[in-house]
Structure 1
Amino acid sequence: MSQSAKFTTGSTLRHVVVMTLTGSLGLSFMFLVDFLALFWISQLGREELIAAVGFAATIQFFLISISIGMMIAAVALVSRALGQGDPDRARRIATSAMIYAVAVQGMIAVTVFVLREPILRWSGAGGVVLEVASTFLGISVVSLPLIALGMSSAAVLRAAGEAWRAMMVTTTGGLVALVVDPILIILMGLGVPGAAMAIVISRLVMACAGLYWVSGKGLLTRPAFYDLRDMMAPFLAIALPAVATQVSTPFGNWVLIRAMAEHGESAVAGLGVAARLQILGFGGIFALSGAIGGIIGQNHGAGLSDRVRQSYLDALKFCAVYTAVVWALMVAFADPLARAFGLSGLAAEVVHWFALIGAGSFMFTGALFVANAAFNNLGRPIWATMANWARDGGMMAPFAFGLGAMFAAPGVIAGQALANILAGVLAAWFGWRFVSRGLDRAAHPA
Structure 2
Amino acid sequence: MSPTSLSPGTPSPDATDPQEPAPKVNLSATRPARFVHGSIMRHVVVMAGTGAIGLMAVFAVDLLNFWYISHLHDPALTAAMGFAAALGYVQVAVSIGMTIGLGAIIGRLVGARRTIRARRFASAFMVVMVAVAAVLGCLTAVLATRLLTLLGASGEALAQAAGFLHIVSPALPLVCFGMAQSALLRSVGDARRSMQVTLVGAVISAILDPILIFGLHLGLTGAAISTLVSRSAVVLFGFVSLRGHHMLERPRLWALAPATRQIGAVALPAIATNLATPVGGLFTTHFMARFGLEAISGQATIDRIVPVAFAFVFALTGSVGPIMSQNLGAGRKDRVREALYASLKLTGLCVLATWVFLAAFHVPILHLFAAKGVAIRIVTLFCCWLVASYFFVGLLFVSNTAFNNLGHPLYSTGFNWGRATLGTIPFVWIGSHYGPIGILVGQSLGVVIFGTCAALTAFRVIRRI
TM-score by length of 2: 0.92
Q: Does 1:9 align with 2:9?
A: no
Q: Which residue of 2 aligns with 1:417?
A: 444
Counterpart in 1 of 2:300? 272
Q: Does 1:35 align with 2:92?
A: no
CA contact 1:184–1:191 (8 Å) conserved in 2: yes
For residue 125 of structure 1, give the secondary structure of its aligned residue in structure 2. coil
| Distance change (3 Å), C-alpha of 1:208 and 1:334 | farther
1:244-265 alpha-carbon deviations (Å, 9 max, x no partner): 1111111122122112112211
Equivalent pair of 1:33/1:173 in contact (CA under 8 Å): no
Please say if residues 296 and 377 of structure 1, whose CA atoms lie closer than 8 Å, have aligned partners that are also in contact.
yes
Give 2:268's aligned amino acid: L
Partner of 1:283: 311
Task: Report the alpha carbon displacement of residue 28 of structure 1 after superposing the two structures with TM.
Answer: 2.5
Q: Cα offset for 1:211?
A: 1.7
Match of 1:430 among 446, 457, 464: 457
1:26 is matched with which residue: 44, 50, 54? 54
Structure 2 equivalent of residue 171 of structure 1: 199
The one-letter code sitting in structure 2 at the alignment partner of 1:213 is S
Q: Which amino acid aligns with 2:337?
A: R
1:356 has 2:384 as partner: yes
Determine if the alignment matches structure 1 residue 156 to structure 2 residue 184.
yes
The equivalent of 1:444 in structure 2 is none
Q: C-alpha displacement at 1:294, in angstroms?
A: 0.4
In structure 2, how many angstroms separate the alpha carbons of the residues matched to 1:99 and 1:330? 42
* Residue 3 (structure 2) aligns with: none
Distance across 2 between alignment mates of 1:47 and 1:120: 17
The match for 2:415 among 387, 391, 402 is: 387
Q: Tell me which residue corresponds to 1:132.
A: 160
Q: Distance in 1 between matches of 2:388 and 2:311?
A: 14
Larger Rg: 2
What one-letter code is carried by the residue in structure 2 that aligns with 1:431?
A: A
Corresponding position: 1:85 with 2:113: yes
Matched, 1:183 2:217: no
**Conserved in 1, the CA contact under 8 Å of 2:295 and 2:374?**
yes
Q: Which residue pairs with 1:324 in the alignment? A: 352
3-state SS, counterpart of residue 222 of structure 2 = helix
Which one is further off, 96-105 or 179-188? 96-105
Unaligned runs of 5+ in 1: 440-446
State the 4+ residue runs in structure 1 displaced beyond 4 angstroms: none
Query: Could you tell me which of 95, 120, 139 is aligned with 1:67?
Result: 95
The alpha-carbon distance between structure 1 residues 353 and 304, as it changes in their structure 2 partners (threshold 3 A), is same
Alignment of 1:299-378 (within 5 A): 299-378=327-406
Conserved? CA contact 2:69–2:77, under 8 Å: yes
CA deviations 1:64-112 (Å, max 9, x no partner) are: 1111111111110111001111111111122123222211111111111
Deviation at 1:335, TM superposition (A): 2.6
Q: By how many angstroms is 1:49 displaced? A: 0.8
CA RMSD after TM alignment: 1.2
The question of whether the paired residues in 2 share the 8 Å contact of 1:16 and 1:291 is answered with yes
Check whether the contact 1:33–1:199 (CA below 8 A) recurs between aligned residues.
no
Letter in 2 for 1:432: F
User: How far, CA to CA, are the matches of 1:285 and 1:247 in structure 2?
Assistant: 19
C-alpha separation between the residues in 2 aligned to 1:121 and 1:301? 47
The separation in 1 between residues aligned to 2:353 and 2:393, in whole angstroms, is 15
Larger displacement relative to structure 2 (179-188 or 168-177): 168-177
The whole-number CA distance in structure 2 between the counterparts of 1:43 and 1:142 is 28
Work out whether 1:217 is the aligned partner of 2:279: no
| Alignment correspondent of 2:288 | 260
| CA distance in 1: counterparts of 2:363 and 2:133, whole angstroms | 37
Deviations 1:218-241 (A, max 9, x none): 211221101112211011111100
How far apart are 1:318 and its partner, in Å? 0.7
Whole-angstrom distance in 2 between the partners of 1:103 and 1:35: 30
Q: For residue 49 of structure 1, what is the aligned residue in structure 2?
A: 77
Q: Is the 8 A contact 1:149 1:211 kept in 2?
A: no
| 1:97-136 correspondence to structure 2 within 5 Å | 97-136=125-164
Contact 1:146 1:203 (C-alpha < 8 Å) held by counterparts: yes
CA distance in 1, matches of 2:285, 2:365: 20
Q: Tell whether the 8 Å contact from 1:335 to 1:348 is kept in structure 2 after alignment.
A: no
Secondary structure of residue in 2 paired with 1:433:
helix
Q: Percent identity?
A: 37
SS in structure 1 opposite 2:226?
helix
Does the 8 Å CA contact 2:52/2:315 hold for their aligned counterparts? yes
| Aligned-partner Cα distance in 2 for 1:98–1:26 | 22
8 Å CA contact 2:122–2:259 kept in 1: the answer is no
Corresponding pairs, count: 437
What corresponds to 1:443 in structure 2? Answer: none
> Aligned with 1:262: secondary structure?
helix
* 8 A contact 2:124–2:253 mirrored in 1: no
Q: Which amino acid aligns with 1:321?
A: L
Cα separation, 1, equivalents of 2:281 and 2:45: 27
CA distance in 2, matches of 1:140, 1:114: 12
Which residue of the partner structure matches residue 442 of structure 1?
none
Q: In 1, distance between residues paired with 2:126 and 2:198?
A: 16
Q: What is the alpha-carbon distance in structure 1 between the residues aligned to residue 194 and residue 361 of structure 2?
A: 30
Q: Output the TM-score relative to the length of structure 1.
A: 0.96
1:96 matched to 2:115? no
* Structure 2 gap segments, 5+ residues each: 1-26
